[in-house]
Amino acid sequence: MAGLTFPSAAKIAAREMRAARGRFAFVVLSVAIGVAALTGVRGFSASFRDALLLRARSIMAADLSARMFQQPTPEERRGLDAMAASGVEMTPVTELLSMASSVKTMEPLLVSLKAVDPARYPFYGTVELQPAGSLRSVLGPDTVVVADDLLVRMQMQIGDQLKIGSRVFRIAAVVTNEPDRLSGSFAAGPRVLISREGLEASGLLAPGSHAGQRYLFKVPLGPRGAAGQDAVVAGMKERLEKVLPESQVVDYRETNPALSEGLERATSLLSLMSLVALVLGAVGVAMAMRAHLQQRLDTIAIMKSLGARSSQIMKIYLLQTLLLGGLGGLLGVGLGVLVQVAFPLLLARLINVQTDLHVQVRAVATGLGVGVLTTLLFTLPPLLDIRNVRPILILRRAVEQSEDPFVSAIWKKLRKSGAQLAAAALIVAGLATIATTLSDSATVGRVFTVGLVVVLMVLVAASAGVLTLLRWFLARTRLALPSVVRHGLANLYRPGNPSAALLAAVGLGVMQIASVALVERAVVHELKISAAPNLPNVFLIDITPEEEAGVRAMLQTEPSVTAPPELLPVVSSRILALDGVPATQAKVKNFPRRMLQSISLTWSDAPPPGVTVVAGHWWSASQAEAGREHPLVAINQPQAERLNLHPGSTVTFAAQDGQFVATVAAITKSDGRHAFSRAEFVLPRQCLAGLPVVWYGGVHVDPARVGEFQRALYRSYPTVTVINVAQALETIRGVVLQITYVIQFLAAFSIFAGVVILASSIAGTRYRRIREVVVLKTLGATRARIAAVFSIEFAVLGLVAGIVGLGFANAVAEVLLRRMTVEYHLALGWNLLALAGVSLLTVGTGWLASHRVLGQKPLEVLREE
């Protein structure tokens, strides 16, 4: 075999593959399922995330928003022009309060004006009108569109004339939903949308007016589509903060905390699923190739007896590995593409999730490359063992099996071969590199990379320890146990049985599958809480203290209200100093200083609904009682970052004719879905006692009956302003629910793929059982006895692997969930059910693969010896 060429080696490899199709089926199946899960999950999740990002942008109507209370300076205007020259689209949105009156009755009403350019606004999403129409065709220089409550309050209808400032406008339509309603101002008075030409003609924009200005920006599409646009938006935000230092800049990810957290958690979990598919495929490849090469030891010995060198034999099996990896990879890519195409159709039919029907070429290439690479990596150790094969030892291996414990045998092998150490290091480095590349979440990639090495080492040691403990147990209870049980347990550590390796592989697979299931359950539970159908979707403004009790009573009896109301007191104030530095000199980050002169304070004895403490501590009852002497304040996290405040900082507030200094006790984060979500400064009740109060409220109203609710409230309390965000919040709720459904679908697919791979790994050991069955039958054992022995072996294998794997799965899930800011709970019942499932899987799979072994005739096997 001197000078074996690659074509010749490839022919030998292909001939051997044709002669052992059944054995190679496990390798191909493991690679194919792993690649299919990787390609399908990663490809569809990429398409779905693109769709989600587009929906997130539509809730803000733009990629970025900059809020300011003055016109841009010449220098700021030059910066904005430079951004426009680079391809950034921009449109201003002006918001102000004004009086409007009906031309017929001339009764005035305070309204909230919003002036937009209908040719450009909104960049994402649509303004929904009644009757249906586009904003561009309806809104002109002499028309306006209004909220339904304006028609109720002024007893008007579409087509009537409305006077605003010095101009008269025709009401062209009713606005039922604005894409950026949640990011706009919640000012008193019914909503009126007006064109920018109409606002200028009205004469309301006189010098010194208190109009608020928002600039909406749409950045050019990034090189990687919507998903790759994240980096572009982040860079543009930094640039915009420098151009407009006195503005408050936010991007589409900050519009609604529930949606942004849902996106982040979905990204992390989908990345974890991709990594799990990778590792499970690798486990299947490792077990199947290890079993195959053990079966080919006779062939290797014969080739060496005929003069073949180790390098030539390794060349044959290396090409065989690449052929198997390529075949499995191509089959897996085909299955993955079917998943990418089928998932959107299935989800569109079931839960109305619309995604583009296109194949993610990048995911396909990644899946194929990762499939071949992992196959090659995990066959390196057995390939390197070929160098140590001696023909005489292989031909006599039936009587010279080593009985060294598993760890001792591994240690001797590694001590003799530095190449095995290098191969192990290469496998770990390769998997870590792939994990880092595949992970869309730095958290998942970091935890996975560090945890993989630790878990593999501990799993191998734990598996070997269990086998050693089992041997010790049998040595002391040998006579007390039934012979079938004794034989089944002893089978786990018999010479030549890869129980420790199989325990480690199955334990790792169980850990990966259970980790996905545990994290998915916790994340979906959190997302469903944030998408609960009874959260406030209508907000009430300017409820006087005299009206508060009556409004509360009415909300509790109104049939259109479906949940208890949330009411919060608001005290007007201003900030005089931050950490002792006057407000006019304090360093603030992208926060208009004018806003320091008009802030709202509220009180609460405990963290309000939807508010969590992220730094510091909420005050105790005794601290709240001492509120007058030692004022404390909790500040919303974005506001604290802009004002450079942290627990222990001080803020000097002025309210009415007095002032007080409050110490920051806690930094909080709100979910954006409750009445307290817009309360940025919360203090104990005693701190604000005696100050003038206006009440705000939040209530959930049946979205189809909001108009009915507005009319009922107006009849009893005509001065209370209703802010209807039901449609906007229903959009967000729908998106979050879609995220949960997609996570559940993909998690179920990943878990199914993992179970198939684990089953193929266990089934790959069937060839090792043929010789044992023949020996037992020759000695007179019946099929029933052999079946009982194998069943006990499979069951114990599954129980031990399940206990070890589930233990690590809970530890990994707790770490990941903590980093995702999701609460972890030990689900004891679920873990016990999973343990029983693992045991049943090993027994069932073992027998599905091994039942034919029982029918093997001893003479057939002995003739092959």
227-272 pLDDT, tens per residue? Answer: 456 678 878 888 888 888 878 888 876 666 666 666 666 766 766 6
Of 220, 184, 246, 317, the residue nearest 593 (C-alpha)? 246
- pLDDT over 70 (residue 810): yes
Tell me, what's the pLDDT at 146?
A: 92
pLDDT (tens digit, 9 = 90+) per residue, 630-672? 889 999 888 888 888 989 999 999 887 788 889 999 999 877 6
Residues in contact with 525: Cβ distance below 8 Å, sequence separation at least 6, in sequence order: none
**Residues 90, 255: contact at Cβ < 8 Å?**
no
Rounded CA Rg of the chain: 35
- pLDDT over 90 (residue 318): no
> How do 108-116 and 89-102 pair as beta strands?
antiparallel
Tell me, what's the pLDDT at 388?
A: 66
Q: Crossing angle, helix 726-763 and helix 21-60, to 10 degrees?
A: 170
Taking the mean position of all CA atoms in its chain, how far away is CA 209?
45
Q: Which of 452-466, 566-580, 712-726 has the lowest mean pLDDT?
A: 452-466
**Rounded CA separation 138/295 (Å):** 77
Q: Which of 35-39, 50-54, 55-59, 398-402 has the lowest mean pLDDT?
A: 398-402
- State which H helix or E strand residue 217 sits in: strand 212-218
**Residues 227, 50: contact at Cβ < 8 Å?**
yes
Residues 31, 33, 37, 40, Cα dihedral to 10°:
100
Residue whose token pair is 């980050």? 589
Per-residue confidence band for 37, with pLDDT thresholds at 50, 70 and 90:
confident
Q: Write the DSSP assignment of 660-710 as a string of letters.
A: EEEEEEEEEEE-SSSGGGG--EEE-GGGGTTS--EEEEEE-B-GGGHHHHH
Tell me, what's the pLDDT at 402?
A: 43
Q: Which of 128-137, 630-639, 783-792 has the lowest mean pLDDT?
A: 783-792
Q: Which of 587-591, 630-634, 829-833 has the lowest mean pLDDT?
A: 587-591
Tell me, what's the pLDDT at 166?
A: 85
- State which H helix or E strand residue 55 sits in: helix 21-60
Of 342, 338, 417, the residue nearest 380 (C-alpha)? 417
Tell me, what's the pLDDT at 404?
A: 42
Per-residue confidence band for 172, with pLDDT thresholds at 50, 70 and 90:
very high
**Rounded CA separation 45/159 (Å):** 47
- pLDDT over 80 (residue 215): yes
Per-residue confidence band for 829, with pLDDT thresholds at 50, 70 and 90:
confident
Tell me, what's the pLDDT at 406?
A: 42
Tokens of 824: 């972890």
Tokens of 612: 């969590």
**Rounded CA separation 726/199 (Å):** 27
Tell me, what's the pLDDT at 116?
A: 92
Q: Write the DSSP assignment of 648-674 as a string of letters.
A: T-EEEEEETTEEEEEEEEEEEEE-SSS
Maximum mean pLDDT: which of 117-131, 174-188, 771-785: 117-131
Please tell me the total number of residues recorded for the chain in this structure.
Answer: 865
Q: Write the DSSP assignment of 771-799 as a string of letters.
A: HHHHHHHHTT--HHHHHHHHHHHHHHHHH
Residue whose token pair is 């002036």? 115
Per-residue confidence band for 188, with pLDDT thresholds at 50, 70 and 90:
low
- Torsion angles phi and psi, residue 199, rounded to 5: -65, -45
Tokens of 139: 């809104």
442: three-class secondary structure by DSSP: helix
pLDDT over 70, % of the chain: 72
Maximum mean pLDDT: which of 315-319, 617-621, 626-630: 617-621
**Mean per-residue pLDDT, 30-38:** 75
Residues in contact with 418: Cβ distance below 8 Å, sequence separation at least 6, in sequence order: none
Cα atoms in the Cβ-side hemisphere of radius 13 Å centred on 681: 25
- pLDDT over 70 (residue 825): yes
- Torsion angles phi and psi, residue 200, rounded to 5: -65, -40
Whether the bond between 131 and the residue before it is cis, its omega within 30 degrees of 0, is yes
**Rounded CA separation 193/54 (Å):** 24
Of 244, 291, 311, 263, the residue nearest 65 (C-alpha)? 244
Per-residue confidence band for 144, with pLDDT thresholds at 50, 70 and 90:
very high
Q: Tell me the three-class secondary structure of 388-435, residue by residue.
A: HCCHHHHHCCCCCCCCCCHHHHHHHHHHHCHHHHHHHHHHHHHHHHHH
Tokens of 731: 């959009």
Kindly list the distances between the CA atom of residue 644 and the CA atoms of 290, 581, 589, 618, in Å, as whole numbers in the listed order: 59, 12, 7, 19
**Mean per-residue pLDDT, 123-151:** 88
Cα atoms in the Cβ-side hemisphere of radius 13 Å centred on 236: 29
**Residues 721, 571: contact at Cβ < 8 Å?**
no
Tokens of 306: 């005929």
632: three-class secondary structure by DSSP: strand
pLDDT (tens digit, 9 = 90+) per residue, 217-228? 988 875 555 545
pLDDT (tens digit, 9 = 90+) per residue, 389-420? 666 655 555 444 444 444 445 555 555 556 66
Tell me, what's the pLDDT at 173?
A: 92
Largest CA-CA distance found in the chain, in angstroms, rounded: 111
**Mean per-residue pLDDT, 48-62:** 75
Q: Which of 489-493, 517-521, 705-709 has the lowest mean pLDDT?
A: 489-493
Mean pLDDT of the chain: 76
**Rounded CA separation 339/48 (Å):** 13
Q: Which amino acid belongs to residue 232?
A: V
**Rounded CA separation 326/371 (Å):** 8
**Rounded CA separation 529/261 (Å):** 12
Tell me, what's the pLDDT at 709?
A: 86
Per-residue confidence band for 274, with pLDDT thresholds at 50, 70 and 90:
low
Q: How many C-beta atoms lie closer than 10 Å to residue 11's C-beta?
A: 13
- pLDDT over 80 (residue 562): yes
Of 71, 62, 68, the residue nearest 214 (C-alpha)? 68
